[in-house]
Structure formats: structure tokens, C-alpha cells
Chains A and B, each alone.
Chain A
């Protein structure tokens, strides 16, 4: 199984179909010349409901981390009532290991804009905000320029090829964040869009019912919307010819993993970068066939399957199949954003855990106590273990602390703490010996009262 032709990277030379050195920004003119905006014109020939149905049949799952079926999300919108409805595009790509949306925005911004326009037509949304992280200075400029071209060429604005959407002229804007990971959480993003601190909201109500400015809002990841374009152009059957099918005998409601996916590989490999493959590539194939093998010929030790909040794959999971089932099969949280971080045999897993804990401690928004306090204590405890002052009891405490925080244990509002939870627990469980040997050498006396 291998991708026959580039789909999302059609205009972005990517191995094995092209040389990254040939990458350049695709302007509107070149985009149209290579078949761009044909999917939008095709979509305009269909009723909005038919477009939603097509995306539903394609079983496109959200590429932003949670893997929620996009068509289903779109169908949650209430009927139109004459008031504004919004689309928020999540380009707040801040999860360590994730840099795939940046590739799309850097070189082929019109693919995203076409996806946005199709979604606006399908869901009858009149205003789109691309929420891009503050650190993406260059990318924000690229998008501003592409949007200006799109307005000039009647994709957005008055008298467009989309006509009136929700009885209004369709509009699209870039909205820059200012350095907060939590704004990638969809309701945190909406709060930030409204000019407030990015504190996630309690759900329900879900954004499809009451989102930005209290109005129905769809929030999609950049890659998800980019994937809508080829689905409209070539149909759901073609899309479903790629990826991993539902297991035999599974109910039709069980989600499968269809379509192409951008895998961003970083860490100890010879050629890190973003590669496009069908969902369900074996981790070993990704490293060997695309990334030129492990750096300096070292042995594989661990990998993060998709952004650090998903936890890690152990040394014996080199053959893990990277699809949406990865979490269930290999004891981690899931595929996430498919930002794969590879670590070689010399990697200090205690240091990795400390780095990850610092990230979550730093990025906790402070709203829920278990996450705010727990992540800080996990970080401090891991620092102590790394410095050689940890105790065996610390390891149990780390597991207990991590296991008690998150939306799944039900102690926090959003899923940020689940990331801390899974990252810390999977590293500890899969590399227990390493942690144990570190604390065994410790000279500190275990006095529980003085633990901190």
C-alpha cells in the first residue's frame, strides 16, 4: 500500500513525487492554471445538503487531532435563521511535533481557501476566520496575500462565484493569535477570537449550536478543509480507495481511517519533514522509506505517534500502523495530528518526559485546578528524578497524579490535561525500567512529608 499520486501535496513537491527544493508559493494564477477552484465551481452546482452528504459518505475524519467525522460535524448545524453563521479555521498549530498545516499554508494557501469556500457553501456560513498562531508571522502574511487575491478574483466578497451565502456576501479574514497553545482547543479558540483570554468553554452547548459570538460556528483544521477539495472533485469512492478499511464485521458506525494524511516527522531521522501517505502507514516504513532511516544508523527507541499529547510508542512498537486506531492498538491516546517524533537509543526518556511535562505545565490555561497544579507538580517531580534525587514513591505518585487529570477522568473542562495524562503515563509505563534505575541510584531519603 502506498499513495499513487500526491493529493494534498499536489502542488507542493514532496518525496517521492518531487524535490522539496522545488517548492514555491503557488499564487492564484498558478493555482487556477493547475485545476484550482474547479472543485468550488463543481460544488456550486450542487445543493449545500448534497455537499455535506458527499463529505459524510467520504468518512473524512478531522485532521486536527480528535479525528471527529467532518461531515457529521457539519450536519449538526441548526437551520438558518437569517442571522450570521461562522466558520473558524484552526491554524493554531502549536503541538510539539506538528508542522503539517504550515506546509500547506506556506506553499499552497489557495487549496485551503478553496476548502473554506466549499465549506461555507455547504454549511451556509457567511464569515470565515482563519485563526493562525502568533508565531506564524510569515504564514499570516502569505494568507493575507492569498485572501486578497481571492477577493480580487471573486472567491470572497460582493458578487462572487458563490453568490450570497446565508443571504450575505461571503467574507474571509486572518486572525492572529498571540502565543497560547490552548487557543488550539476549539472553544478556547472562539474565546480568543472574541477578544478574551483563551479559556475553553464548558460543552454543551457545542460550537455548532452556539459558537463564536453565540452563533452557530463550524471549526475545522487546515488539513481537513484542504482534504475536502479533492473529495468534491473526485468523489468519496476515490477518497475511500485510500487508507484503512473498517475491520470485517465492525458496525457501520465504527469509524474507519480513509484518505491521505500528512505525516510530519521530526527527531532522530536522516530526512525529517512532512510526507504524504495513505492513512495506515507502518511507522517503520515511514522512517525507512521516507526519512532515510534513523540518524547516524542508531537503533530505534521510541516515537510519538502524533504530537506529544498522544503519548509514546515503545521500542517494540516499531511496526505500529499509523491510522486512527493507533491508540486502541498500541496503548497510546491516538493518531492526533500525525506529527511523528522519532527518538533513538541514546535518548534519555526521563529528560523527554520532563520536556513534555514542562510544555503542558507552561501551556495550561489555569482554569481547572487538576491541570494547572498537577502539570506543575509533574514537571517539578520529573526535574527532581532527572537530577537524580527522585524516589520510587515519586514514580507511583506521577502515575496517580497524571491519571487523575483530564476530560476523560472528568476533572477538567478540555483535553489539554488528557495530553499530560497520556504523555506522562505512557512514557512511564513503557520505559519503567529506565525511570526505576534512575531513582534506584538516588541518595535521597524517602520522607513523604518532605516530598516537595
Chain B
């Protein structure tokens, strides 16, 4: 959360020529999102979501571009981006696995699920596999308490999961780059 601060004074920002927030995205956001709000700052979350959806994480350069686009100070955008758990300021794996660890899932044995995934992928929660395919995270309640235990894989909800089924679902994800091609509407 926001109060876990890091020394940013000596931070170096890696830069690249090509902008993360490109002109096409800007055009779309300008037409679709910005008219919704009376202030430009209000579009911060939608803009960050859009960048993260495209690039899978939020590099500092992207935050600067967002600030520039919305007429804010980079620190304002950093302030917002660091507060929310779903914004990744470090690269994450191709597929993000979020396992719910809240009370209903604990009652329904989420431990077995988490341990199974951890063992299979050889990583602890918070880590990314060396091939960059998976990042494992534990998160608080995913709003699926009636069908616990549950986990999200790149935005797709798996309910009432046993590790054996979940393992198959993970194995079926393509290795190469490209979207998982599994629309969120098709639930496991």
C-alpha cells in the first residue's frame, strides 16, 4: 500500500524512444474516456489500466507520459499508481495468478491450492518464474466466497478449484507471447 515507501531520490528511469502511451491510445482515450469526467486527473485510473493492459506493467516512463497527457505532475501519478495493488511498477510474468487467501477460502482449504501451485512453478507468492511466464500472488477476497477456493489467472476467474484441475488449466496456457485467448466470460 501507499505507505510502504522506497527511496526514489536515487532512482534511475529506464527510457526508450518509443512512447508507452502512443498517439493512437491518446486519441482513443481523449475521445472515449476524458469526456466522462470534469477533470483530467480523474482519468488516471483508466489511463493506467489501458497502459498496463497493453504492456503488462507500468514502467516509470509510462507514468511520466501519463502525467504529461493528463496535465499532472509525475509525482501525482506515482502517488496514485503506488497506492493500488493491481498496478505493477515492476515487470510481471505473462500470466498473473492471484490466489485468494481470505477467510472463506482459508475455510475451504486454499492452502492446498497455493502450495500446489507454488510447488509446480517453483516460486513463492510474489515471485515470477524464470521463463517469465507466471507471476504468483496471494490477494485478499476476490468476491467468490460461495465458490471457494478461487483464483484469478490473468483476469479470468477459476472457482471452486482443486489443484489438479487448476494445474491442467495452467498447462493449457500458450507459452509464446500473445493474449491468452480465453475471454473472461468463459469461466472454468
Interface on A for B, CB 8 Å cutoff? 84, 93-99, 102, 127, 129, 133-138, 141-142, 171, 173, 175-181, 192-198, 213, 264-268, 272-274, 304, 308, 339, 341, 343, 347, 351-352, 355-356, 358-359, 362-366, 372
Of the four ranges (under 10, 10 to 19, 20 to 34, 35 or more), the interface on chain B belongs to 35 or more
Q: Which of B41, B86, B145 contacts A97 (CB 8 A)?
A: B145
In the assembled complex, B46 has its CB within 8 A of some CB on chain A: yes
Q: Which of B2, B76, B107, B141 contacts A94 (CB 8 A)?
A: B141
- Docked CA distance A93–B185 (Å): 19
Q: A171-B36, A267-B107, A341-B107 are in contact. Are A197 and B139 (CB under 8 A)?
A: no
How many whole Å from B61's CB to the nearest CB in chain A? 19
- Docked CA distance A98–B84 (Å): 21
A interface: dominant SS: mixed
On chain A, the residues within 8 Å of B86 by CB distance are: 134-135, 178-179
A135 contacts B145, C-beta separation under 8 Å: no
Q: Which of B21-29, B122-130, B149-157, B168-176 contacts A (4 or more CB under 8 A)?
A: B149-157
Over the window 95-115 of chain B, the binary record of Cβ atoms lying under 8 Å from chain A Cβ atoms (1 yes, 0 no) is 000100111101110000000
In the assembled complex, B118 has its CB within 8 A of some CB on chain A: no
On chain A, the residues within 8 Å of B147 by CB distance are: 272
Which residue in chain B gives the minimum CB-CB distance to A20? B146
A356 contacts B103, C-beta separation under 8 Å: yes
Q: Which of B1, B36, B143, B155 contacts A173 (CB 8 A)?
A: B36
Q: A96-B102, A137-B155 are in contact. Are A197 and B143 (CB under 8 A)?
A: no
On chain A, the residues within 8 Å of B102 by CB distance are: 96-97, 308, 355, 359
- Docked CA distance A195–B143 (Å): 24
Q: A96-B104, A138-B187, A178-B85 are in contact. Are A197 and B39 (CB under 8 A)?
A: no
B49 contacts A359, C-beta separation under 8 Å: no
Q: Can you name 14 A-B residue pairings with CB atoms under 8 Å? A: A96-B102, A97-B103, A97-B145, A135-B142, A141-B184, A178-B48, A178-B49, A179-B84, A179-B85, A181-B141, A196-B76, A266-B146, A355-B106, A363-B1
